[in-house]
Amino acid sequence: MDIQGWTFLLVGLSFALYIGIAIWARAGSTKEFYVAGGGVPPVANGMATAADWMSAASFISMAGLISFMGYDGGVYLMGWTGGYVLLALCLAPYLRKFGKFTVPDFIGDRYYSQTARTVAVICAIFVSFTYVAGQMRGVGVVFSRFLEVDIVTGVLLGMCVVFFYAVLGGMKGITYTQVAQYCVLIFAYLVPAVFISMLMTGNPVPQLGFGDTLADGSGTYLLDKLNGLSTELGFTEYTSGNKSMIDVFFITFALMVGTAGLPHVIVRFFTVPKVADARRSAGWALVFIAILYTTAPAVASFARVNMIETINGSDGQGVVYEEAPSWISNWQQTGLIGWEDKNGDGRMFYSGDDRNEMKIDRDIMVLANPEIANLPAWVIALVAAGGVAAALSTSAGLLLVISTSISHDLLKRNLMPNISDKQELMYARIAAACGISVAAYLGIHPPGFVAQVVAFAFGLAASSFFPAIILGIFHKRMNKEGAIAGMLTGITFTAAYIVYFKFINPAANTPDNWWFGISPEGIGTLGMIFNFLAAFAVQKMTGEAPQHIEDMVESLRYPKGAGEAQGH
């Protein structure tokens, strides 16, 4: 069976599994739709959280970023992993005890303000749509190559599957679907990594093969070879960094606090029965996440070496185009690889200087890696199924945030307080359907490559939600005026900075023009600082929170009790 046949089989089987789970776990109440009834076991919730959090950016794009950026790509590993630890230790148990199942619900009740709730809803929708654009782009990339359809058709196929299980099952269907998706994506990520590690270093453990010597008997370490290839071809040494230390710090911190402020991850801690289970599921999720994240640097390095050698040939002079490996022509059809024969010699050549004739999209590195290494067709198709699982799992979580923000926080808790449970569930499903349609459009017309778009979403979450949540838990005197001013200041500044440098004036997107040398990917940290400053300044001018709010926050700091998730 060829690659396309295997892809249809494996992706089709995985889709059938997801849809079957959605039918089995159909939500019959708003509590099941929003928080899966609050009865998910910690291990299953940890697995679902890992799938929810490890998006197309983690599966498809992160290793691609590291492969192209080398040392500088480590900011994504450090930021996303560190952020999850921050979320598990500083936020999850307290939010779980508070008993509200959405971030806008927490902010609305903690800051005793419908205006604060509305601002939080707007921020949640803005962050979620920014994030989901990257996921739908990932679905399009996978389908365009492996099902040999265009990206538009690929996005629409993915949209239909997400629509079915997100709208039908809500959080209950999404949770158990994500457990299956984690199993698919982690198996799909590890199998080719183990194969390639064995071929290149003789070590079956990719994390160890990454630092091992090559299997060709030369005694050369993999990273030493990669450094040599990089400098020889005009790239920066792979294990050296180009980014300034301040930009590395700001990007890492933005990704950390952005993780801790992501609404679709936070809501997962309301799906377990008790506060203690929230802590346990956070621990399990970190274990499941670490399996992929410790493998990513190895995958990036293997892919980089293999890609350079297969394009430039064994003699380093470039491979003749007509004799090029099939993976190059396969990916050329998607438009994600391009070749321009600058010197007219008919040979392809890849370098980091003016000799370069190749355009290679970073998002293909994980997906193309098994093809580059000449692995069996079923392994290549398995990676496609894993990439789709990663993108769909996070898309579903984000769409549920959009759905609950509109139906529960905006309608039930604000504009239409008298609607019944059945009507609220209907509005939640309508909102999810509308959200999927917008997400599909953003996937077809994405504002950047997958991991970059996701990094912007983390920056927006860092600058809007994180300060409001932290102050809501640990600063009992913070009032509604301060929280609203902080959220508006943070997200407005961060969004304006990103939009200016990425869309209005991309030519100016250079370190010389950035504020303090901070790139758009890291500006969320500065937006967070502005959020804190605005919140404290306004709170000083407008007084302290009411006494009953201070008493509530005081009790919140001692995470004892079940804190059943509720909407009233």
SS (H, E, C) 129-194: HHHHHHHHHHHHHHHHHHCCCCHHHHHHHHHHHHHHHHHHHHHHHHHHHHHHHHHHHHHHHHHHHH
Distance, CA of 383 to CA of 370 (rounded, Å):
8
Distance, CA of 125 to CA of 119 (rounded, Å):
10
How high is the pLDDT of residue 30?
59
Query: Whose structure tokens read 């100016």?
Result: 508
CA 15 to chain centre: 21
- Which among 172, 154, 161, 170 is positioned nearest to 60, based on CA atoms? 154
Look over the chain and give the mean of its residue pLDDT values, rounded to a whole number.
81
How high is the pLDDT of residue 446?
65
In the chain, the amino acid numbered 434 is C
How high is the pLDDT of residue 563?
47
Give the single-character DSSP code of 233: T
Task: Answer whether CATH 1.20.1730.10 is correct for domain 3-38+77-172+241-271+378-556.
Answer: yes
- Which among 146, 109, 145, 192 is positioned nearest to 6, based on CA atoms? 146
How high is the pLDDT of residue 561?
47
The residues with which 358 forms a beta bridge, in sequence order, are 339
Give the single-character DSSP code of 360: E
53 Cβ neighbours under 8 A, 6+ residues apart: 80, 84, 259, 262, 265, 285, 289, 394
Phi, psi of 395 (to 5 degrees): -55, -45
Distance, CA of 60 to CA of 37 (rounded, Å):
32
Phi, psi of 566 (to 5 degrees): -145, 170
pLDDT per residue as tens digits for the range 473-494: 889 899 999 999 999 999 899 9
Q: 418: buried, middle or exposed (CB in 10 Å: 19+, 13-18, 0-12)?
A: exposed
- Beta pairing class for 347-348 and 319-320: antiparallel
Distance, CA of 221 to CA of 270 (rounded, Å):
46
- Which among 128, 92, 95, 99 is positioned nearest to 31, based on CA atoms? 99
- Which among 73, 165, 152 is positioned nearest to 452, based on CA atoms? 73
Q: From the DSSP assignment, how many helices (H) and strands (E) are in the chain?
A: 24, 4
CB 172 within 8 A of CB 22: no
CB 472 within 8 A of CB 111: yes
178 Cβ neighbours under 8 A, 6+ residues apart: 47, 48, 51, 52, 393, 396, 397
Distance, CA of 454 to CA of 130 (rounded, Å):
7
243 Cβ neighbours under 8 A, 6+ residues apart: 72, 75, 251, 519
Distance, CA of 25 to CA of 365 (rounded, Å):
35
- Encode the chain (568 residues) as per-residue pLDDT tens digits: 777 788 888 888 887 887 787 777 665 555 556 555 556 788 888 888 888 777 776 777 788 888 888 888 888 888 878 887 787 777 777 877 777 667 788 888 889 888 888 888 887 777 777 777 767 777 777 777 777 777 777 778 777 777 776 666 566 667 777 888 888 888 889 999 999 999 999 999 999 988 899 888 888 999 999 999 889 888 888 888 788 889 999 989 988 888 776 667 777 777 777 777 777 888 888 888 889 889 999 999 999 999 998 898 877 888 898 888 888 888 887 777 888 888 888 899 998 888 888 888 887 888 888 888 888 888 888 888 887 777 777 777 777 777 777 887 778 777 787 888 778 778 877 887 787 788 778 777 765 555 556 667 778 888 888 899 889 988 989 999 999 999 999 989 998 998 888 778 888 888 889 998 898 888 999 999 999 999 999 999 998 889 998 888 888 776 454 444 454 4
pLDDT per residue as tens digits for the range 112-135: 888 888 888 887 777 777 777 767
How high is the pLDDT of residue 407?
80
Residue 66: left (phi > 0), alpha (psi -120 to 50), or beta?
A: alpha
